[in-house]
Amino acid sequence: MTHSAPKKPPVKKQGKKDSQLIIRINAQERDDFVALCESLDTSAAREIRRFIRAFHKEHE
């Protein structure tokens, strides 16, 4: 008789990411930002989303 592990409920995401925001910045500034994010084990997109949420909350 074999027992299967109980199924874990699916992980809920904060919200579906279905839109893009295109910005133009200096290439060196972008490269430095991406490198810093990588060194901190995060992504540039994650940090920009975090900034947007904090900025929005601050100015509600």
Q: In sequence order, what are the residues at sequence separation of 6 or more whose Cβ sits closer than 8 angstroms to the Cβ of residue 41?
A: none
Residue 24 to residue 47: CA distance in whole angstroms: 17
Q: How far is residue 58's CA from residue 60's CA, in Å, rounded to a whole number?
A: 6
How does pLDDT run across 1-60, given as a tens digit for each residue?
556 666 776 666 667 889 999 999 999 999 999 999 999 999 999 999 999 999 999 999
φ/ψ region of 28 (left if φ > 0, alpha if ψ in -120 to 50, else beta) reads: alpha
Is 0.85 topped by the overall pTM?
no
